[in-house]
Structure 1
Amino acid sequence: MRHVKHLRAGEVLCEETGSTLLETSLCLSLVLLVILGIMECSLAVYTEHYVEWAASAGARYATVRGSTYSGTMCATSNSNYCEAGASDIQNYIRTNVAPGISASNISVTASWPGTSGASGACDTAQGSNSPGCMVTVTVSYPFTFMLPAPLNKGITLSASRSTIISQ
């Protein structure tokens, strides 16, 4: 016949079998959560860097494609020698998208306020995209964290660049 050991409640609570497994699982889950959080923040910084680059690249694209550059609009020409409009700048940025960034979520706004830059006068007789005038390109991108968090609505990353049109 088997002997069954009868334990009192206090003896069961003081027993330490299985405590290592429990402590390890708690610590590993916290470590994995921290690692995934670091990866999420790194992805957000990567996305912000791309948004900054895209605004600068769009402004450079518009800077060298002003009203006196060629006379034809880029949308009607397959040439790189053309006058850039707002949709051309948007297409340029969306075709040069970084890995991991969704081109359809990128919002690009280009404006030509018709004001002079620091280097000279803006002659708007040929349009507000004439040499010497300012061009401003604003890029925004919605970033949503993958990890579930309370009230995780994401953030919108945006950057704006203004340059003086040279051609």
Structure 2
Amino acid sequence: MWRDERGGSLVETALSFLLLSSLIFGVFEGALAVYSYHFLANAAHEATRYAIVRGGGWGSSCDGSGSTGSGFGSSGCVANATDVANYVASRNFPGLHLTAAQVCVKYLVSTPGSATTTCTASTTNTNNVPGDIVQVTINYPFTLSVPGVPSHTFTLSSTSQMAICQ
């Protein structure tokens, strides 16, 4: 019995192309996730650095309202949790659109036993003095979307902590 196999290679090529393109786009999306995490970690580090040089040892409060000319570049002032969160939101990190609501700032009296505790942000500085610890956690929703696969959103999170020096 004779079977007509015309068009069989076209179907095989189409299926192979679909599988290969999904694999390539999956690699691109994975690279984008790593890229986003890198800049998220950088944002947490920069926010912590911003907070440690603006500790409670200064006399005046920072104007971290986020408005133009609000003084994010100034030092010699006391930054609270809201100022730090607005600082992160005002930065233009490539590919990330961070908001102040995604930033959690904690002031701790000593080095915490666990940096993974639930973050309850406070806008008051109860421990914002030199020698204390500031901990900044940023949570960022990342959507993984690969053609042919249902998209999935997961949270990238980065935490940075340093001792307040001024």
**Does TM, scored on the shorter chain, surpass 0.5?**
yes
Unaligned runs of 5+ in 1: 1-9, 118-125
Q: Which of residues 80, 83, 86 in structure 1 aligns to 2:78? A: 83
* Equivalent position amino acid for 2:159 in 1: S
- TM-aligned CA deviation for residue 106 of structure 1: 6.3
- TM-aligned CA deviation for residue 72 of structure 1: 2.2
Task: Describe the shift of the 1:104–1:71 C-alpha distance in structure 2 as closer, same or farther (beyond 3 A).
Answer: closer
Report which stretch shifted further, 35-44 or 14-23.
14-23
The residue number in structure 1 matching 2:159 is: 160
Q: Which one has the bigger helix percentage?
A: 1
Report which stretch shifted further, 132-141 or 80-89.
80-89
* Equivalent position amino acid for 1:25 in 2: A
The residue number in structure 1 matching 2:134 is: 135
Task: Describe the shift of the 1:145–1:86 C-alpha distance in structure 2 as closer, same or farther (beyond 3 A).
Answer: same
Task: Describe the shift of the 1:102–1:57 C-alpha distance in structure 2 as closer, same or farther (beyond 3 A).
Answer: same
TM-score when normalising by structure 2 = 0.77
Number of aligned positions between the proteins: 147
Which stretches of structure 1, 4 residues or longer, exceed 6 Å deviation after superposition? none
- TM-aligned CA deviation for residue 87 of structure 1: 1.2
TM-score when normalising by structure 1 = 0.77
Task: Describe the shift of the 1:64–1:27 C-alpha distance in structure 2 as closer, same or farther (beyond 3 A).
Answer: same
Retained in 1: the 8 A contact 2:45–2:160?
yes
Task: Describe the shift of the 1:71–1:23 C-alpha distance in structure 2 as closer, same or farther (beyond 3 A).
Answer: same
Structure 1: how far apart are the matches of 2:152 and 2:22?
Answer: 19
Unaligned runs of 5+ in 2: 113-124
| Structure 1 residues 59-83: Cα deviation after superposition (integer angstroms, max 9, x where no partner) | 1010100011342233379331221
Q: Which one has the bigger strand percentage?
A: 2
Aligned-residue sequence identity (percent) comes to: 33
